[in-house]
Amino acid sequence: MVVTKDENMEIRTSDHVVLVRQAVRKWAIELGFSLVDQTKMITAASELARNTLDYGGGGIVRLQALREDPRKGLRLTFEDRGPGIPDLEKALTDGYTTGKGMGMGLSGSRRLVNEFEIESRVGEGTKVTITRWK
């Protein structure tokens, strides 16, 4: 697998969440994703960026364009130094929420992508990596 493009973006304000969505749309279009695949990746990115801000106190997202002939992919890695997630299994359950949302952030994002990885340590932060392939 080859990384053909790599960029980091800060997530510190709601405006940054919007900028992440816009960047993901641009990258997905450049990679030739269908409108449906663009929408899935943008939706997942929006949820995870919002979680990074709201629950992690802000952080970064790393965008990477991938090539693994003959396919192309988009990988996003969201990282924060927040409180971490004490029970990952519970947090990945549909309907589970610690906030006022519908509880679809992590579990919904996982369903929208081809690859989903999450690491979290209480007191250290959370890292979520998602990849969608074309």
Integer angstrom CA distances of residue 76 from 63, 95, 96, 101, 114: 5, 24, 23, 22, 12
Query: Domains of the chain (ranges plus CATH)?
Result: 2-133 (3.30.565.10)
pLDDT higher than 60, residue 103: no
For 123, left (φ over 0), alpha (ψ -120 to 50), or beta? left
Q: At 91, is the pLDDT very low, low, confident or very high (cuts 50, 70, 90)? A: confident
Q: At 102, is the pLDDT very low, low, confident or very high (cuts 50, 70, 90)? A: very low
pLDDT score recorded for residue 20: 98
CA gap 59, 76 in Å, rounded: 13
Q: Which amino acid is at 40?
A: K
pLDDT score recorded for residue 61: 98
Look up tokens 């693994």; give the residue: 68
